[in-house]
Amino acid sequence: MRVTCVAISTVVWAACLVPFESLSAQAPNRSETHTAAEMARAKSVDGLKAWKKTSGDGYRANVVFAFRLFELEQTAPVASALFGVLPQDEDLDSVWHSFGTYLCKEETDSDIHTLADLEGRMPRELAMAVLLSPDKMFRYISYAELSLMYPDSDYAEQMEGVCRLKHAEFVDAVNQLPATREKWFVARIFNPDGCHALAHPESDQ
């Protein structure tokens, strides 16, 4: 798996949103991993923002910030902002699935385990976020294919609750997919009629 970290030129505290065109490659180091882990461990919004000031402009840091902010402050605006860091290509998605991976030898077990735990919660948090911000449903649905390229992803299983609670919005979003992608989605990923996941983590099989 190729792991690429990227930089974001501008950080918006409340939304954590930037245009994807501003992303560029940047290798992580031990300090960046540690501050990302401290953000993941933050017990308050103020503490989270304090660590964000020292975390740099890396894409991984912005992802950690956005998810931890949502865990601490589950409001519709914060939920909506979470979709601003959603990957739109394989390079960015690989960052999401590298939290539990040692990217340099100086990283500590504690920091890696903290980030791995956050990575494991991310599909669940996205499911909760889209319930608070259903106007992001198409973006939520569109990410499923990328997420499920990783064998341990439970993204499809997390969609079951979303489908049941926001069924009309869910089905409408699926219908907006291009015809070939919609066919793949309902055949291999998720059955929206029965709100039933078709793709499951390999660890569950």
What is the per-residue pLDDT across 51-62, written as a single tens digit (0 to 9) for each? Answer: 999 987 889 999
Any residues with CB less than 8 A from the CB of 21 and at least 6 apart, and which? none
Query: Rounded to whole angstroms, what are the CA distances from 196 to 79, 139, 159, 162, 193?
Result: 24, 19, 8, 11, 8
Torsion of CA 111, 101, 44, 74, to 10 degrees: -160
Q: What's the CA angle centered on 60, arms 119 and 7, to 5 degrees?
A: 160
**Contact (Cβ atoms closer than 8 angstroms) between residue 94 and residue 116:** no
Domain ranges of the chain: 1-132, 135-205
What is the per-residue pLDDT across 5-51, written as a single tens digit (0 to 9) for each? Answer: 333 222 333 333 333 333 333 445 567 889 999 999 999 999 999 99
What is the pLDDT confidence band of residue 205, given thresholds at 50, 70 and 90?
low
At 11, the amino acid letter reads V
Is the whole model's pTM more than 0.85, yes or no?
no
Indicate the pairing of strand 190-191 with strand 24-25: unpaired
159: tokens are: 């969609």
